[in-house]
Amino acid sequence: MKNYSQALSMFRKFSDNYSGDDSRKLNDSYLRTGDCFYVSKKYAQAIDFYNRAISLNQIGGDYAMYQKAVCQGLSGDTDAKISTLNRIINGNSKGRYLLDSKFELAETYRITDQDDKALAAYSGIIETNPSSQYAKRSLKNIVFLHRRLGNNTEALAAFDEVVAKYPSDKVMNETLQLVKDIYIQERGLQAYNNLVTGNPILDITTASVDSTAYQVAIDSYFEMNYVRAKSSLEEYIGQFEPGLFSVEAHYYLAEIYFEEGDKSKALTNYNYVITQPVSEYSEPALKISATLNFNSKYYEAALNNYIELESVAVQKMNLLEAEIGQMRCYYELLRFDYALDYAERVLNNGDTPVEIKNQAYMIRGKVRFDNGNFDDSYYDFKEVQKSINILGAEAKFYMCKIAFEKGAYKNCEKEIFELIENFSAYNEYKFKGFLLLVEVYVALEDMFQAKATLNALIDNANEDWVKVRSRARLAELEEIERAALEQGEDNDVQIELFDEE
């Protein structure tokens, strides 16, 4: 609590004394102050600062609204909580906290015995977000509510839906405990025995042994005895699959293989997790699988992982990770329209770090450049070149190319000199700039400077590819000059411009 108190003091001091016009900074300060009060269980003060953030109408407003609702509930003001949650849901929001708000509203209705409203809210979640973790929990709670209302037929129908959708998930066993008595009453003991016998999720005897075996394995994992944990997890999977803890076992086994550097076996186990009904392990498994596939240049597989991650992500940063991943994969797969769409999403996400924004600007700029949209692409590259790194160097080179393509040769010359001066450490783009400078001089009919630049590159460049291209271009220019002299056309030489790439 001491650290939160110190943080609270710093944020309060900043917001109380801030006199600038950057509402984003002020908004961030309000959110962090509200969070500090929330953690300290000072809910009235937290609500006050969340309201201040909401009034600024900046990115993060959906988070502030959701946290405000949570604080209202914890303060005992259930009506206000419901009102705030409905405001989020009915506000045409597509933000990260829309689904959280729907589930929290359903839970609030259930806890306050507003059963009809709770049933409608849970059903809405299942209909609109069937792949989310909330759908599974909603279906289980629908079974609970029907039992509470005495709607046995509806409770069993909802349980049948659980069995159909989540046959190898613990939620089936959890839900069975809610309807076991009426299942036997309505459908008979034989039907119950048929349901549970041989099903490792439901069979009580098997489940007991299953749980014990898994616990032994997982204890070793959390004791960081990974050799023993790996052996025990593999034995568990071999003996009980599909078992009560198959998803967990495969996930932790994947983690061990990942740490050992066996990416192939890690992927195999992560993929098992991914193919099962959505669970708390789906999100991290998809994120790591996507990264492994992308780094191995399996872009289609990575793309599929990122698409699924976007649909199930609960953590805000993983949703951003899914958008970034799709942007990169679509670009690598030459599906530029989709790459452009996701670059826009990444740029519009207030949580995107600067270095990732630069990647998005770069992708958007390249697509625009290839489409001949030089003015808009110049804006993107101008943003990236503010960073003195290799991406900034590439962006500055594209700015030079745009000036050249537009025939603004003097401006291109100026851009190239800035590239050479500011990004001298990045040889690839520095030398590409020099080679483009040659073409600028050719376009300006300054053959002396063009050849002098090429000779300087041949004598001084420390990259073989630069020397090869410089010699080739110099030979071309000299041949063109000789041909022109022989024809007596020194002052009217038509020279084909060299491809600077």
Q: Output the DSSP codes for 214-231.
A: HHHHHHHHHTT-HHHHHH
Stretch among 58-62, 213-217, 273-277, 321-325 having the lowest mean pLDDT:
58-62
236 CB contacts (<8 Å, ≥6 apart)?
A: 213, 214, 217, 243, 245, 249
Phi, psi of 496, deg, nearest 5? -75, 130
- The domain that holds 164 is classified in CATH as 1.25.40.10
Q: What is the average pLDDT across 13-19?
A: 55
In a domain, 256, yes or no: no
pLDDT of res. 29: 79
Stretch among 78-92, 373-387, 414-428 having the lowest mean pLDDT:
78-92
Q: CA angle, 239 as apex, 233 and 245 as ends, to 5°?
A: 55
131 CB contacts (<8 Å, ≥6 apart)?
A: 278, 311, 312
The C-alpha atoms of residue 203 and residue 208 are separated, in whole angstroms, by: 9
Give the three-state DSSP class for 240.
Answer: helix
What's the residue count for the chain?
Answer: 501
Asked if 33 and 12 touch (Cβ cutoff 8 Å), the reply is yes
pLDDT of res. 129: 87
pLDDT in tens, 45-99: 989 988 988 888 877 678 889 999 999 999 999 999 999 999 988 876 566 788 8
Asked if 344 and 309 touch (Cβ cutoff 8 Å), the reply is no
Token output for 269: 């186990």
In a domain, 491, yes or no: no
Burial (CB count within 10 angstroms: exposed 0-12, middle 13-18, buried 19+), residue 111: exposed
Nearest alpha carbon to residue 155 among 196, 188, 112, 186: 186
In a domain, 136, yes or no: yes
pLDDT in tens, 457-494: 999 998 999 999 999 999 999 998 888 887 765 455 45
Task: Give the confidence band of 1 by pLDDT, cuts at 50, 70, 90.
Answer: very low
pLDDT of res. 159: 94
Asked if 252 and 233 touch (Cβ cutoff 8 Å), the reply is yes
In a domain, 290, yes or no: no
In a domain, 109, yes or no: yes
Task: Kindly list the distances between the CA atom of residue 381 and the CA atoms of 91, 398, 431, in Å, as whole numbers in the listed order.
Answer: 36, 7, 19
pLDDT in tens, 107-147: 999 999 999 999 999 999 999 888 888 999 999 999 999 99
Three-state SS across 62-113? HHHHHHHHHHHHHCCCHHHHHHHHHHHHCCCCCCCCHHHHHHHHHHHHHHCC
How many domains in the chain?
1
Question: Where in the sequence is the domain holding 20, given as residue range(s)?
Answer: 2-182
pLDDT in tens, 489-501: 545 545 455 555 5
Token output for 14: 């900043």
The C-alpha atoms of residue 465 and residue 461 are separated, in whole angstroms, by: 9
Task: Give the confidence band of 14 by pLDDT, cuts at 50, 70, 90.
Answer: low
Asked if 267 and 304 touch (Cβ cutoff 8 Å), the reply is no
346 CB contacts (<8 Å, ≥6 apart)?
A: 320, 323, 324, 327, 352, 356, 357, 359, 360
In a domain, 67, yes or no: yes
In a domain, 127, yes or no: yes
Give the three-state DSSP class for 188.
Answer: coil
Q: Whole-number mean pLDDT of the chain?
A: 87
pLDDT in tens, 431-453: 999 999 999 999 999 999 999 99
Task: Kindly list the distances between the CA atom of residue 117 and the CA atoms of 100, 224, 489, in Å, as whole numbers in the listed order.
Answer: 17, 47, 89
Task: Give the confidence band of 183 by pLDDT, cuts at 50, 70, 90.
Answer: confident
Task: Give the confidence band of 235 by pLDDT, cuts at 50, 70, 90.
Answer: confident
The C-alpha atoms of residue 87 and residue 68 are separated, in whole angstroms, by: 12
Task: Give the confidence band of 2 by pLDDT, cuts at 50, 70, 90.
Answer: very low
pLDDT of res. 208: 67
The C-alpha atoms of residue 393 and residue 403 are separated, in whole angstroms, by: 16
pLDDT of res. 61: 78
Token output for 10: 């710093």
The C-alpha atoms of residue 346 and residue 324 are separated, in whole angstroms, by: 6
Task: Give the confidence band of 103 by pLDDT, cuts at 50, 70, 90.
Answer: very high
Residue appearing with tokens 């998930």: 169
pLDDT above 60 for 264? yes
Asked if 458 and 470 touch (Cβ cutoff 8 Å), the reply is yes
Task: Kindly list the distances between the CA atom of residue 191 and the CA atoms of 131, 182, 185, 186, in Å, as whole numbers in the listed order.
Answer: 29, 12, 10, 10
The C-alpha atoms of residue 452 and residue 463 are separated, in whole angstroms, by: 18
In a domain, 34, yes or no: yes
